Every structure is written in C-alpha cells, then in structure tokens.
Amino acid sequence: MFWNYGIFCAILSGSSWGIFWQIILTILGILTTGLQLSLDIAPSLFSGALIGFIYIIYQKYIQLKQHIIFVIITTLLIYGVTLGDPYYGENENIFIELILVLVTSIFIWISVYLTLKNISIGKLSRYQSEKFYIRLLWGLGLITLILITLIPFYIMVMTSLKNQQSLILNPLDLSLDFSNGFSNLFISYIELFKNYNFHIFLANSFFVSIVTVFITLLFSIPGAYALARLRFPRKEWFSSSVILIYLIPSIVLVIPLYAVFSQLGLRNSLFGLIIVYPATTIPVALYMLRGYFSTLSSEIDDAAIMDGLSRLQIVFKIAMPLSKPAIVSVALYVFMIAWNEFLFAFMFLDDPNLFTLSRGIISLNSSEVPQQHLMAGAVIATIPIMFIFIYLERFLISGLTSGSVKG
Amino acid sequence: MSSIKLKNISKWFGNNLVIKNINLEIKNGEFVVLVGPSGCGKSTLLRIISGLEDLDDGEILINSEDVTNKIPSERELSMVFQSYALYPHMNVSENIGFSLKTSGMDKKLLKKKIAEVSKILKLDNLLNRLPKQLSGGQRQRVAIGRAIIRQPKAFLFDEPLSNLDASLRVEMRLEISRLHKQLGITTIYVTHDQVEAMTLADKIVVINQGEIIQVGSPRELFNKPKNLFVAEFIGTPKMNVLNCITKRGFIYLNGKKDIKTNIKKTDDEIKKIGFRPNKVSICEKEKGLLTGEIKFIEYLGSEQFIYVDCGIDEKLVVVKTNPDYKLPLKKIVGLNILSKDLYFFLKNGEVLI
C-alpha cells in the first residue's frame, strides 16, 4: 500500500513536523515575546512536505554543509509560500519574525532528518516502515507530552513574577521585566507571606499531609501484611470490599459528613481533616501494599518465625525493610492526595488560621486579589511536592529483594 | 541431641485429609529422609514438625516432651528452605546471627559464634556480602549456617538442593552428609529425589498420598520393597514391572499371546512381576526367559541402558549393562533373570514374600 513507500513517509513526516513545530513555536513565540503573531499552518505544512520530499531524493549526500543548506531552503520555502510575510498582522517586528521562522525551519529540518534517516525512497521493508512510524509517533508523542506538562507550569511561574500593570496591559506577554530590579519580581510571593498568612497555610498543609501519611502507613502496613499472609475467614471478601469506598464519590460523602462533623465539633478543625483523609487513602494504600507483600517469598517469613520472631516483629524487621520502595511510593501518593485535597478542606474549614494551601489559594480568588498572587500561591503549593518527589524518586528503585530466594 | 516422635498425626486442608494418621519415631542423631512424589504431603509433614503448620490430630514429642502446642521457636528446631529464604537486606553474618540476636545474645559471644559457624561452612570471606552477591551454593551454605548456629535439637531440610544445578547438588549433598557426621544432630530431610534419599539417609520414610508406605534403611528399601509403589519409586532406572497371570502353576506374561515362562508359582493372586534392570542379563534369543528387539540404547559412559521391546503391555524392558558391551539396534536378543531376583506383586500391590 501507499503508506509503505519511502516517498509517502517523507511527505507525511515533513508535513506533520511542519504543522507541529509551527503551532508550538508560534505559541511559544507569543508567550515569550508578547508579540501578536498569527497562527497559520499552511506554510510550514507545504514547506515541511517539500523538504521531506527533497531530502528523500538527495539523502545520500548529506554532510554538515548540507544541513545548513536544507535549513535555508526550508526558511526560503516558508517565506516563499507566505509571499514574504509569514506572520501577518499589525505591529510587525520583521527581525523577530525572521528569527522565529529560522528556528521553526531548524526544528523542522532536524525532526525530518532524524525520522527519515536511513529510510529509502521506494517500497519499504516491514522493518523499515515500522522503524519510520515508531520514530515519527515517538517524537511527536514525546514532545507533545513534555510541552503539555511544561507550558501550564511555565505560564504559572511567569505570571507569578509579573506585576499587575503589565498583566492588565497584555495578559499573554510573559516576558520578564527586570527594569524594577531583581527582587521586585518576587513581590507577589513576599506579599503572600506578609499579608495573606501563607506561612500558616503551608504549615497546616504540611501538618495535615504528614499526619495523614503517618496514620495511613500505621494502619495499612499491618493490614496489608495480614491480607497478604495470614489466613482468616472472609479474607477475600474483606480485602475486596475495602476498595468499595471508591464507588462513592466524595461529593456524596461530604454532605452527611458535614452534618455529622458539625454536631461533633470536628468541623473547622484540622483534626477533622486528619480523620477524613486517612479514611480515603487507607483503602488504596492497603491494596497497593498487599500486592507488594504478596510478591515477597513467604518462606522468608517462615524462616523468621523459625528464628523466633513474632508476626509483628516480622512486619517491622522483615517485611518493611524489604518493601521500602512500595512503602515510599504509597507514602508519596498519600502525601500528594492529602496535599492537593480540596473538597473536604473547602467544606470543613472556615477559620483562615486553619486553612490548608488549596483552601488558602481559593480564598484568594476574589476580585480584590490580583491574578499574579493566585499564581504565586499555586507555585508555592506545587514546589514542595516537586522537591519531595525528586528526593524520594531514588527510593522507588525496585530490585531490593533480588537474591533472597533462588536467583 | 534429641529424638522425635510423631503420634497419630493428621492434617486437613479444607476437605482434604493430606496427612493420614502418621506414626514415626526418629532416634537421636539419625538422618531421616522423607521421600515421595510431589504433593504426597512430605513437606506438610515437615512443616507440622517445625510448628509452621498446626495439626488437626495427634502429638509431637521431642525428647519425650509434648511440643504439639508450642510455637516454632520454642521447639528449638531449625529449618533450611528450598528457596534458601535468606533475609535479602542483611549481609551474611547478620543472616547467620539473626536468630541469636533476636533472642538477645551478647554481641561478643554472637560474633564468636558467627565466626565458628562460618568457618565450618567456609563462609569466612563472605561475611559482609549481601545474599544477592552470592552464588547458589554459597546462599545454600548461609541458610545452613543460619540453621546450625542455634545448636538446635534437630535440623529440618525442605528440599534444600532442588534449586541448585546438578554438579553443585552433588557437592552440597556431600557437604550436608559431612556436616551431619561432624555435628551428629538429628536431621529430617524432605526430598522428591530418591537418589538424594538413598545417598543421605540412615532411614528413609517413603510417603504417598499422606501415608507412610515403608520405613527402612536405603538397603532395605531397595532390596525388600514392601509394595509396588516403593519398588518402582526407589532405584534408577525404575524396576521393570510386567503384568502377568498364573495358569496351571506357571506364570504367563501378557502379550499378543500369553507367553509361558518356566517360573513356577501356584499363588493365583500374583498380578505383576518385577525385576531390577541391573539383574537382567542379555543372551542368545533362544536361551532367554524373554525375547525382544532392542529399541533404544542410552550410553552413559560408565554404564549403558538398553531398552528391549518384548511385546508385553507395550512396555520396554530396561537392562543395565556393561558399557563396553556393543549391541546393534533392532537386534533380537534374549533376556535372562535369576528367579531369586524376581519380585511378585499381589493384586493389592503388596510384594509376595
């Protein structure tokens, strides 16, 4: 079929990379320069397809010099297709436009070159066509994924560093303004801690999350061990019913809980949250840990029993050290749930001194508080999780048990 | 130093009676091997003795003291597992010393003991390694070290060699045998490999379907099997067993036509006849008790096995011969067996004595 031919692959990869980079670089251009650029995919589509076509014909003669020539050809093609005006619109800055087109051309060329390398022009073998499609989809997918995660974060951080005036002037212009001094960039953050009690929110969030992690592990480790190892009546029924709590959306739970907690005086207290959070995290922690415990050899437990350990000692001295990666990932997961939890915090907490971060940020969301403060709050909420994750990531390596049983 | 006595032990798994009323006496210092096909309950029996598995009926006595309701560590037995079951997060010396450390032994004394044990097992240079840095044989030795450091009343081995490769298995078998001679501790050893059983045991206990079939020394079991199961289970290659009937005082073998033999037996109950491959001799086809065509020859260097099709029950008769004896395939040969080497099996599988 036609999709097995190198020439089709060349045109396909050229046009898709053309569209792809045109969209992305235009968006990035708008976000970094603040210029109003128009997005038109046709020029890059045609130029990409053409450059792919040219490449597949002349691919045997590629050297460094040719790379530069190909980039220049792409640039010329883009200018040619758009009749010399790639980003039409008002207030044009021809120099920036030229750089953008050049960057776009470089990216298109590199991508096309890498996906089409060693692909011949005629009918492709199964191996070759597979190689081509995997390269194309891998590249497109990977870059899309990276951008989807990074762009919102980038917007968040950049907005938080701007001042009210420039944001109102052009909310899309995310270029940094150093004219008022470096420390002025962080004015929103200083403001948040000074006037909006963010240090209290931060402390509350840490307190609630850490206690939740602790309580969850306290119950789920012995519980999961029991489910994985011990024999008791109704075990299977019990272990699967624990998960049933996830059938009930928390919005359904929150209303009766609100009523009950009000009566008991648990509403508007962190203690109330510390009761609710583990209740939602223990089931899944139990499930994850149980799965891990049952992969450990039960002969190790038998050996420990022969060596005179009680079941509880086995949990602490044998099972826990061996399942460090699982426990760390469960702890991380529970910490993130508790840290990000919004609904219960929003419903239960009224006193600003008890607000957790997510609740605190929502309290900023009024017309009086500027947008960059909100963004700064979001950054403050995100950064601890990021660092904890990066720090704990090295504990998540598995393979700790290798060598205990037959090898 | 102790004797172990099992009295009327039974164990149910759900609705299955997996251990059926077992009685067994193990003398002080004896090396007892429990052997049987997989799923026969031998491992379960060992776990019952160790206390890892509770029993539904019966008593266990160690040095005539009832330990039936005692927890495993109070029974002062130690066990070596099939998968070694070393603690992966502890190094060799921690693994070996773990039980004594748990019982709160003084650190200096513990260190001395670990040094002693590791010397016996030649683990001196590996004390700081983690289990994953050891080879299979070394891991096995650590597991044994963990067992002997406590100076237990008895060792329990649960198929300890089945994860090792063939040559290492032979080596470790000798090692275990040497240790037993050196330490003289009562040992119960579970295996499905009858070669291990024959080579290691003072006393073999053959178990099938949760019941003890026969107890005896390797020699006894080989030469005087109590029934068809033991006769077929012990010995490689397996005993040749052929269907037969008695007619007018002679044994007839079942073939396309019944083959009359010159063996005289009057007992009508005889249904099967058996003989060991090493007790068969090959002769001219006219002179043989049986005649048949050579189908396969397995040459093993020090011996060779010859498979002869005698046309009986579609079964090949195995003959173990001198390896220098060259025979062509498809040759018709006669087989001779001395009548003293024949075993006669009754309808219920028992051996006729």
Number of other residues whose CB lies within 10 A of the CB of residue A183: 8
| Domain final position from B172, B200, B233 | B233
The tens digit of pLDDT for each residue in A106-144 reads 998 889 888 888 888 888 888 888 999 999 999 999 999
pLDDT at position B110 is 93
pLDDT at position A397 is 57
| Domain final position from B233, B262, B280 | B233
Q: Residue B148 is part of a domain; what is its CATH number?
A: 3.40.50.300
The tens digit of pLDDT for each residue in B217-258 reads 999 999 999 999 999 999 888 999 988 887 777 777 766 566
Q: Which ranges of A183-323 does DSSP label H, i.e. alpha helix?
A: 187-195, 198-229, 235-241, 250-264, 270-293, 298-306, 311-314, 320-322
> By CA distance, what is B150's nearest residue in A?
A307
- Quick one: tokens of A379? 């950054």
Looking at CA atoms only, how far is residue B150 from chain A in angstroms? 9
B chain contacts of residue A308, beta-carbon cutoff 8 Å: 73, 99, 102-103
Shared-domain flag, residues B250 and B187: no
- Quick one: tokens of B88? 């992966």
The tens digit of pLDDT for each residue in B107-152 reads 999 999 999 999 988 898 999 999 989 988 899 999 999 999 988 9
Shared-domain flag, residues B270 and B224: no
Asked if B134 reaches chain A (Cβ–Cβ under 8 Å), the answer is yes
Domain that holds residue B84: 4-233
Q: Token match 């190909």: residue?
A: A70
Which is higher by pLDDT, B280 or A162? B280
Shared-domain flag, residues B347 and B310: yes
A chain contacts of residue B130, beta-carbon cutoff 8 Å: 403
Report the candidate in A193, A100, A119, A108 with the shortest Cα–Cα distance to residue A379. A193
- Quick one: tokens of A126? 């199964």
Q: Which of A302, A400, A407 is opposite residue B85, by nearest beta carbon?
A: A302
Dihedral angle sign, alpha carbons of residues A320, A323, A324, A328: negative
> By CA distance, what is A301's nearest residue in B?
B85
Shared-domain flag, residues B19 and B108: yes
3-class secondary structure per residue, chain B: CCCEEEEEEEEEECCEEEEEEEEEEECCCCEEEEECCCCCCHHHHHHHHHCCCCCCEEEEEECCEECCCCCHHHHCEEEECCCCCCCCCCCHHHHHHHHHHHCCCCHHHHHHHHHHHHHHCCCHHHCCCCHHHCCHHHHHHHHHHHHHCCCCCEEEEECCCCCCCHHHHHHHHHHHHHHHHHHCCEEEEEECCHHHHHHHCCEEEEEECCEEEEEECHHHHHHCCCEHHHHHHCCCCCCEEEEEEEECCEEEECECCCEEEEEECCCCCEEEEEECHHHEEEECCCCCCEEEEEEEEEECCCCEEEEEEEEECCEEEEEEECCCCCCCCCCEEEEEECHHHCEEEECCCEEEC
Tell me the pLDDT band of A405, cut-offs 50, 70 and 90. Answer: very low
pLDDT at position A400 is 42
pLDDT at position B257 is 60
B chain contacts of residue A318, beta-carbon cutoff 8 Å: 87
pLDDT at position B181 is 92
DSSP class of A123: B
Shared-domain flag, residues B28 and B96: yes
Contact assessment for residue B126 and residue B93, using Cβ atoms and an 8 Å cutoff: no
Asked if A398 reaches chain B (Cβ–Cβ under 8 Å), the answer is no
> By CA distance, what is A308's nearest residue in B?
B73
Looking at CA atoms only, how far is residue B342 from chain A in angstroms? 43
DSSP class of A172: T
Q: Which of B81, B132, B136 is opposite residue A303, by nearest beta carbon?
A: B81
The angle subtended at Cα A51 by Cα A45 and Cα A54, nearest 5°, is 140
Shared-domain flag, residues B131 and B75: yes
The interface pTM score, or ipTM, of the predicted complex is 0.85
Round to whole Å and give the CA distance between A87 and A94.
9
Asked if B146 reaches chain A (Cβ–Cβ under 8 Å), the answer is yes
pLDDT at position B246 is 78
Interface of B with A in 85-114 (CB under 8 A): 85-89, 98-99, 102-103
Whether the per-residue pLDDT at A219 is higher than 70: the answer is yes
Tell me the pLDDT band of B185, cut-offs 50, 70 and 90. Answer: very high
Shared-domain flag, residues B194 and B255: no
Round to whole Å and give the CA distance between B334 and B306.
12
Strand order in the sheet with B77-80: B77-80, B154-158, B186-191, B31-35, B203-208, B211-216
CA distances to A316, B23, B44, B143 from B16, in Å: 35, 19, 13, 32
Asked if B14 reaches chain A (Cβ–Cβ under 8 Å), the answer is no
Contact assessment for residue B72 and residue B52, using Cβ atoms and an 8 Å cutoff: yes
B chain contacts of residue A302, beta-carbon cutoff 8 Å: 47, 52, 79, 81, 85
The tens digit of pLDDT for each residue in A163-212 reads 877 777 777 667 777 777 777 788 888 888 888 888 999 999 999 999 99
Shared-domain flag, residues B126 and B256: no
Shared-domain flag, residues B183 and B289: no
Interface of A with B in 289-308 (CB under 8 A): 297, 299-300, 302-308
pLDDT at position A260 is 93
Asked if B77 reaches chain A (Cβ–Cβ under 8 Å), the answer is yes
Residue A82 phi/psi, 5-degree rounding, is: -95, 10
Which residues have C-beta within 8 Å of that of residue A366, sequence separation ≥ 6?
Answer: none
Per the structure, the count of domains in chain B is: 2
| Domain final position from B233, B258, B293 | B233
Whether the per-residue pLDDT at A407 is higher than 80: the answer is no
Number of other residues whose CB lies within 10 A of the CB of residue B315: 15
- Mutation for testing the A interface, residue in B13, B53, B70, B81 having most A CBs under 10 Å: B81
The whole-chain average pLDDT of chain A stands at 85
Shared-domain flag, residues B347 and B304: yes
3-class secondary structure per residue, A142-157: HHHHHHHHHHHHHHHH
Shared-domain flag, residues B9 and B154: yes
Task: Indicate yes or no: CB of A303 within 8 angstroms of CB of B87.
Answer: yes
Domains, chain A, with CATH or none: 2-169 (no CATH), 193-396 (1.10.3720.10)
Q: Residue B331 is part of a domain; what is its CATH number?
A: 2.40.50.140
What pTM value is reported for the model? 0.79
Shared-domain flag, residues B226 and B264: no
Q: Which of A304, A321, A404 is opposite residue B131, by nearest beta carbon?
A: A404
Round to whole Å and give the CA distance between A385 and A77.
46
The tens digit of pLDDT for each residue in A83-114 reads 777 776 666 677 888 888 888 889 988 898 88
B118, exposed or middle or buried, with CB in 10 Å at 0-12, 13-18, 19+?
buried
Task: Report cis status (omega within 30 of 0) of the bond before B237.
Answer: yes
The tens digit of pLDDT for each residue in A31-52 reads 777 777 778 888 888 888 888 8
Round to whole Å and give the CA distance between A21 and B156.
69
